[in-house]
């Protein structure tokens, strides 16, 4: 059972799964259900969330050493892609923005990529605006940083349930300043094929 790979006991895992399942089970545009079950989505989220790397490490370092990446590399999840900003390496299962745009199709792909990432970036911005402690590096152990972040998320959810607005909401633009440096390889061909199939008019 997947809960054995998390730090949650079975009852807590099943409760969280029961609460979030309706939000995670949605039809795709073609009327088919997504291939990842809510249980797998919860597991992936918990695995990625439970990383033990301090905030000083770059996202791409954490990604290279994450259980989620390992599961994707092993083919555990074969449908769809994750999206990441330009700080991540292009991989068969991780779509990143095109760096040097050479066609309208690549421009359209980047626009869709940004609009897809935007809700996640906005959620991070809302958390940072509500809890300023999250807006700067935390000089604590990774375990304590996880506890602080979890507490902020739980308190944010309580505030949201009670319709408490975020005061002084800051805008956090999408950060594509850091560009992961890598050679063009077969992984880029996956992105080129995706652009050719879905973004060429």
Q: Is residue 42 part of a domain?
A: no
Q: Is residue 32 part of a domain?
A: no
Q: Is residue 43 part of a domain?
A: no
pLDDT digits (tens, 9 = 90+) for 35-89: 445 555 544 454 445 445 544 456 667 777 777 788 888 888 777 788 888 888 8
Residue 108, judged by CB atoms within 10 A of its CB (0-12, 13-18, 19+), counts as middle
pLDDT digits (tens, 9 = 90+) for 103-159: 999 999 999 998 888 887 888 888 888 888 888 888 888 778 888 888 888 888 888
Which residue shows structure tokens 């259900």? Answer: 33
DSSP 8-state class, residue 87: T
Q: Is residue 108 part of a domain?
A: yes
Closest by Cα among 42, 50, 40, 56 to 7: 50
- pTM for this model (two decimals): 0.59
Q: Is residue 15 part of a domain?
A: no
Which residue shows structure tokens 């989620």? Answer: 68
Contact 198, 107 (CB under 8 A): no
| Structure tokens given for 141 | 């152990």
DSSP 8-state class, residue 135: G
Q: Is residue 70 part of a domain?
A: no
- Interhelix angle 104-130/186-198, nearest 10 degrees: 100
Contact 180, 96 (CB under 8 A): yes
User: Which helix H or strand E contains 82, and what residues bound it?
Assistant: strand 82-83
Q: How high is the pLDDT of residue 14?
A: 65
Q: Is residue 145 part of a domain?
A: yes
For residue 152, the enclosing domain spans 81-198
Task: Indicate the SS3 state at residue 64.
Answer: helix
- CA–CA distance, 182 with 67 (Å, rounded to integer): 22
- CA–CA distance, 159 with 98 (Å, rounded to integer): 38
**Higher-confidence position of 27 and 103:** 103
| Structure tokens given for 92 | 């068969």
Q: How high is the pLDDT of residue 183?
A: 54
Rg of the Cα trace of the chain?
18
- Pairing, β 82-83 against β 94-95: parallel
Q: How high is the pLDDT of residue 51?
A: 47
HSE-up of residue 113 (Cα within 13 Å, Cβ side): 26
Q: Is residue 25 part of a domain?
A: no
Per the structure, how many domains does the chain have? 1
């Amino acid at each position: 059972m997947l809960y054995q790979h998390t730090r949650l006991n079975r009852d807590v895992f099943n409760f969280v799964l029961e609460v979030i399942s309706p939000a995670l089970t949605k039809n795709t545009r073609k009327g088919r259900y997504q291939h990842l079950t809510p249980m797998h989505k919860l597991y992936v989220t918990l695995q990625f969330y439970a990383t033990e790397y301090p905030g000083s490490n770059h996202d791409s370092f954490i990604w290279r050493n994450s259980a989620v990446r390992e599961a994707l590399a092993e083919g555990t999840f074969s449908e769809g892609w994750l999206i990441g900003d330009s700080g991540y390496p292009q991989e068969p299962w991780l779509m990143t923005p095109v760096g040097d745009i050479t066609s309208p199709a690549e421009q359209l792909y980047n626009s869709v990529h940004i609009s897809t990432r935007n809700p996640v970036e906005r959620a991070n911005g809302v958390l940072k605006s509500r809890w300023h402690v999250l807006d700067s590096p935390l000089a604590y152990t990774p375990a304590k940083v996880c506890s602080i972040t979890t507490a902020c998320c739980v308190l944010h959810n309580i505030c949201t349930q009670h319709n408490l607005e975020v005061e002084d909401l800051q805008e956090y633009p999408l950060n594509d300043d850091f560009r992961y440096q890598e050679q063009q390889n077969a992984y880029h061909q996956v992105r080129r094929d995706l652009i050719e199939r879905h973004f060429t008019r």
